[in-house]
């Protein structure tokens, strides 16, 4: 019931946004300056590092001089539990501002545009998905933030597609600490036993292809915990799709 109430409120915000778009010009997703079309202003386009060309098939990080399908060094040394991963942009400049606006700035109007970009970046794994699910927030954080930014992305990704969207497929069993200043090992320890597949969906994911959606990938600790929860509950395969990818330390 709580999720239905939140979803209804979000739909109301979406309706107000569409009405507003008919009155006011679109705003840049990064700096909120007025633009001629939905997306980014010219300045923020230059400041946003979109991932193009070759990239790691597992984590989505850009790679120079390597063919697609080859994992990066980080994924070779630290194999991911999911099969494939895609990302739209590097988490810096314009992409970082977009992410912060979506997460903390109530910019729910970003959802459709970011979902279109993510669909292009992850077209192949999106086509294979039986179920799309977002990384969940703990209920205490959801109450404080009022919405889950990963849900905003995942629900826009399924529009017009024959794929099931389960926004509450996974549940956080404990409130984890904020990971901003944690090391890689600390992030993985923080996420240990923090997620599980919601009991009523365990039968539904048996033998299914799951696509997990989030706004940002750093070390992959949270996405790994989600993947392991799905696999242990009977999913056949898990892929991941994010908007931004944090650069690996050099």
147 inside domain: yes
Cβ distance 98 to 29 under 8 Å?
Answer: yes
Higher pLDDT, 3 or 87: 87
Indicate the average pLDDT of the chain: 85
Query: Which of 8-17, 34-43, 106-115 has the least mean pLDDT?
Result: 8-17
Domain of 143, CATH number, reads: 3.40.50
Q: How confident is the model at residue 2 (pLDDT cuts 50, 70, 90)?
A: very low
131 inside domain: yes
Higher pLDDT, 194 or 231: 231
CA distance 11 to 112: 13
pLDDT tens digits, one per residue of 45-96: 999 999 998 899 999 999 876 666 678 888 998 899 999 999 999 999 999 9
pLDDT tens digits, one per residue of 129-155: 999 999 999 888 888 888 999 999 999
The pairing of beta strand 85-90 with beta strand 237-245: parallel
Cβ distance 132 to 209 under 8 Å?
Answer: no
Our CA dihedral for 139, 145, 146, 149, rounded to 10 degrees, sits at: -90
105 inside domain: yes
pLDDT tens digits, one per residue of 27-50: 899 988 888 766 899 999 999 999
CA distance 213 to 167: 10
200 inside domain: yes
37 inside domain: no
Helix, strand, or coil (residue 168): coil
């Amino acid at each position: 019931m709580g999720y239905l109430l939140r979803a209804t409120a979000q739909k109301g915000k979406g309706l107000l946004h569409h009405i507003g778009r008919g009155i006011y010009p679109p705003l840049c997703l990064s700096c909120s300056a007025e633009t001629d079309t939905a997306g980014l202003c010219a300045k923020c386009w230059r400041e946003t590092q979109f991932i193009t060309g070759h990239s790691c098939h597992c984590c989505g990080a850009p790679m120079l001089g390597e063919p697609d399908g080859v994992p990066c060094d980080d994924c070779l040394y630290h194999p991911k539990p999911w099969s494939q991963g895609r990302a739209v942009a590097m988490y810096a400049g314009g992409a970082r501002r977009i992410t912060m606006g979506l997460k903390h700035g109530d910019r729910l109007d970003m959802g459709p545009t970011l979902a279109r970009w993510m669909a292009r970046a992850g077209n192949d794994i999106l086509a294979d998905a039986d179920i799309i699910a977002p990384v969940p927030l703990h209920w205490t954080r959801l109450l404080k933030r009022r919405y889950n930014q990963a849900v905003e992305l995942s629900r826009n990704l399924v529009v017009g597609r024959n794929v099931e969207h389960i926004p509450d497929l996974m549940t956080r069993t404990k409130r984890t600490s904020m990971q901003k200043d944690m090391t890689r090992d600390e992030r993985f320890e923080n996420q240990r036993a923090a997620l599980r597949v919601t009991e009523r969906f365990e039968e539904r994911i048996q033998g299914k292809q799951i696509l997990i959606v989030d706004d940002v990938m750093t070390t992959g600790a949270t996405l790994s915990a989600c993947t392991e929860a799905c696999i242990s509950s009977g999913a056949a395969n898990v892929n991941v799709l994010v908007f931004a990818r944090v650069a690996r330390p050099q």
